[in-house]
Structure 1
Amino acid sequence: MTSDEYVIEVEGLRRTYAGGFEAVTGISFSVARGEIFALLGTNGAGKTSTVELLEGLAAPDGGTVRVLGHDPYRERAAVRPRTGVMLQEGGFPSDLTAAETARMWAGCTSGARPIGEALELVGLERRADVRVKQLSGGERRRLDLALALLGRPEVLFLDEPTAGLDAEGRLDTWELVRTLREGGTTVLLTTHYLEEAESLADRLAIMHRGRIVTTGTPSEVTAARPARIRFVLPEGVAAGRLPLSLRAAAAGRRIEIRRLPLSLRAAAAGRRIEIRTHQLQQALEELLRWARESDVRLDELDARTASLEEAFLDIARGAAQDIAKTETAGV
C-alpha cells in the first residue's frame, strides 16, 4: 500500500505534559482510506492524548502527524473542513433544542448537510425540538455524532462514541459507522467496549503507558491466545475419564484444564471443566467423540475462540510486566 492510500500517518509521535510526564512515547501507525481503526488501552494509556494530536488540537513534542497529507496543527485550515470530531463531551448550551444546536454548528461548517438529515442519521429526528437539557445522556451522545457528521467528513474521529447508549442505540451506531465506511469515510475511534472494537474495527492498536504494544486485525490480535471449551460433567463422571490428550501437553502446545469452581476430586452435583487449546476444532471433535462413545452428556457446552477482551487483558498485563522489568533493570 502506498503512502497516498493512507489518510492518517503517525511516525515517532511524542507528547509531554508539564512536569516532564510523557503521555505518548514515540508511537507509529497508519490508517488506510476507508478503514475503521480502533485505538484501545486502559485509562491513562495515552489514547486521548494521541487523538488530540491527530485532531490538530495540540502540536506534538516529537515525531510527525499527517492527516489527509497535511499537518493537522500547522495546516489546520486545510484539514479541519474535511474531518469530523466527536468528543467525549460536547458541552452544548442546555437551553437550545437539538435542531437549534445543529443549526448553530452548521453555521460554522463548510458544506453542511441539511439539519434534518443529520438528526435522522442518528435517530433524533423526532427529538429535534427538545431542549438539550431534556435529552437523555444517550440522546446527547447521538447529537454529538450528528454534529460530527454535518460536514460529510472524509475522516471521522470518534472518542467513546457509544458511551451512555443503551444496547439498541449502540447497535444502531455500529450500523451507521459501517455505512459511513462503505461510503468511503475513514474512521478512527477510541472505545472501552472491546466488543465494539471487535465488531467494527478493520485493524486496531492497543496502547499501554504511552506505547503501542500490539497492532493488527482483531483476528490477528486474538490468534495467539488459546480458544476454550467449557462444559459440565454429570455427577458420577470423573474428569480423569477425559481423553489424555485433553488433559496434558501435546505436540508442543499446552492444553490446560482448569477446575471451576470446585475441585475435580470433590463429589459434586456438577463439575465445571474448561479446556484451553490452540486447536479448537481438533479438541472439540475429540471431546464429542469421547462423549458419544462413553454415553456422557456434556451440559452447558460452549466452545469459542479467544475474545478481544481476553487478548486485551493478557497483552496489558504482559506489557505492564515488561515495562516494570525494564524500569527495574534501569535502576
Structure 2
Amino acid sequence: MTATTGAAFAFPGSFWDMNDEPVIEVSRLKFSYDTFTAVDGVDLSVRRGEIFALLGTNGAGKTTTLELIEGFRHPESGTIRVFGHEPARARSVLKPRMGMMLQHAGLIEELSVVETLRLWGSLTTRTDDAVELLDRIELAHRADTRVEQLSGGEKRRLDFALAIYGRPELIVLDEPTTGLDPESRQRLWQTVEQLRGSGSTILLTTHYLEEAESLADRVAIMHQGRISVEGTLPEVLATRPSRITAHVPASALDRALPAFTGTLESALDGAVAFLALETSALQEDLGALLCWARDGGIDLDHLTANQASLAEVFLAVGANR
C-alpha cells in the first residue's frame, strides 16, 4: 500500500468556512414495518469531523436508522436533519456532500474495477483520481479485472472506494469491513482515520467491537429500536463496573480486608483464596487493596485490574430484553 499523507485528502477551503452545527441531528425518530417498530424514538447527534459508531445486535434498528439518515426512507415521526436538511426531501442537495457504503451494493459485474470508478465519477460532481484511489485501497493490481472476477473482500473494498470517492464531507459506512481479512481491515481503518483527519465526518455501523474501540470518537448502542447507551468510549465503558482480581494465601483473609467501594467476592481453593472485586472506583479500590497487601506483607498473585470492555457493555445491553 502506498503511504498516503493527510495532504492527499485536503478539502477545498470553503468546507472549513461552514459553521459548527452538528452534521446529523436526529430527534424522536420512529419507523415501523407493518406492526414491527424498527426505530422507536431515537435521539442522535453526530458532530462535524468525528467518527461515530452505531452498534447493536441484529434487528436492533441500525440499518433502518442509516437508511432514514441517508434519505432512502421517510420517518414515521420525529425529525432528521443532515447539514440542516431533511434527507428524504433534499437528496439532490445532499448527494454531492455524502458518500454511502451499503451492506449490499449493486456493482455492475461486467465492468472492470477502474471502469466502475470512472462511471461513478461521471455520475457525481466530486472529483478524484481513480488510479490513486485504487492504489489507496490496494486494488491497483486488479484495475482491469471485471467485477465478477473479484473476491468478496475485493468487492467490499471497491464498495468502500465508491463511498469515499471525491472525499465527501459525510461518509456513511454500513458494516464496511465484513468479508475483509485482518490486514485489509486494519488498512481500511487507517484510511478512515485519514479521512477524519482531513475533515470528513464518519458514521459507521459494525459488528466488530474492536473496530469501534479503535476508530470511534463516540459510540451508541441500539437495542430494540432505541439507543441504550451513548457517549465517548470512556463514558460508555463507565456504565459497567471495572474488575480487580487476585490470588492470595487463604491465611491472608484472617486479616480484615479494606472497606471497598465496590462489591467483593472471595472463594477458597485449598491454601489459596481468589478475590474478585467489581467496582466503579477502580483507582480507589485498587489502591486500597495494594495498601492492605503491603501493610500485611501479602503477595498478590495473578493481580489484574481492568476497565469494563465494550463487549461487556454490549452484552449487558442485549441482556435487557
TM-score (norm 1): 0.82
Question: What is the Cα deviation at residue 135 of structure 1?
Answer: 2.8
Partner of 1:276: 278
- Tell me, which stretches of 5 or more residues in structure 2 are unaligned? 1-17
CA distance in 2, matches of 1:134, 1:289: 64
Deviations 1:106-161 (A, max 9, x none): 22222231111221222222332333333332222211111101132110001011
Question: Tell me, what secondary structure is at the counterpart of 1:10?
Answer: strand
Contact map agreement 2:244 2:277 (CA 8 A) in 1: yes
Contact 2:223–2:317 (CA under 8 A) maintained in structure 1: no
Change (3 A) 1:273 1:121: farther
- 2:263 maps to which residue? 255
The equivalent residue for 1:327 is none
Q: Distance in 2 between matches of 1:244 and 1:313?
A: 35
Contact 2:26–2:79 at 8 Å: present in 1 too? yes
Query: Is 2:47 the partner of 1:32?
Result: yes
Q: Is the 8 A contact 2:107 2:147 kept in 1?
A: yes
Within the alignment, does 1:6 sit opposite 2:14 as a pair? no
Secondary structure of the 1:312 match is helix
The 5 Å alignment of 1:196-275 reads: 196-232=211-247, 237-238=249-250, 241=253, 244-245=256-257, 250=260, 253-257=261-265, 264-267=267-270, 273-275=275-277
Shift of 1:49: 0.5
Cα distance, 1:94 vs structure 2: 3.1
Change (3 A) 1:48 1:129: same
Aligned counterparts of 1:242 and 1:67: Cα–Cα separation in 2: 63
Instruction: Please say if residues 15 and 24 of structure 1, whose CA atoms lie closer than 8 Å, have aligned partners that are also in contact.
Output: yes
Tell me whether 1:313 sits opposite 2:315 in the alignment: yes
The whole-number CA distance in structure 2 between the counterparts of 1:217 and 1:115 is 35
What residue number does 1:75 align with? 90
Residue pairs, 1:11-26, within 5 angstroms: 11-17=27-33, 19-26=34-41
- State percent identity of aligned pairs: 50
Q: What are the Cα deviations for residues 242-264 of structure 1, in whole angstroms up to 9, with x where unaligned?
A: 86446xx63xx332336xxxxx3
Tell me, what secondary structure is at the counterpart of 1:141? helix
Residues 76-95 of structure 1, C-alpha deviations (whole Å, 9 max, x = no match) = 10011110001112232334
TM-score scaled by length of structure 2: 0.85
What are the equivalent positions in structure 2 for 1:93-132 lying under 5 Å apart?
Answer: 93-132=108-147
**Distance change (3 Å), C-alpha of 1:3 and 1:51:** farther
Matched positions, count: 303
Range with bigger deviation, 117-126 or 58-67: 117-126
Following superposition, the deviation at residue 239 of structure 1 comes to 7.9
Counterpart position of 2:164: 149
> What secondary structure does 2:283 align onto?
helix
8 Å Cα contact 2:22/2:46 also seen in 1: yes
Which residue is equivalent to 1:324?
none
Task: Give the C-alpha shift of residue 35 in structure 1.
Answer: 1.5
1:295 Cα deviation after fit: 5.6
Q: Once superposed, what is the RMSD of the aligned Cα atoms?
A: 2.6
Amino acid in structure 1 at the alignment position of 2:264: E
Of 182, 186, 191, the residue aligned with 1:171 is 186
Distance change >3 Å, CA 230–CA 96, structure 1 → 2: farther
Separation (CA, whole Å) in 1 of partners of 2:168 and 2:240: 37
Residue 8 of structure 1 deviates from its aligned partner by 0.7
Match of 1:189, SS state, is strand
CA distance in 1: counterparts of 2:273 and 2:150, whole angstroms: 49
Structure 2 counterpart of 1:128, which letter?
Answer: A
- Separation (CA, whole Å) in 2 of partners of 1:73 and 1:188: 18
The verdict on how the C-alpha distance between 1:136 and 1:206 changes in structure 2, with shifts beyond 3 A counting, is: same
Compute the displacement of 1:31 (Å): 1.1
Q: Given residue 122 of structure 1, which amino acid in structure 2 is its aligned partner?
A: I
1:51 aligned to 2:66?
yes
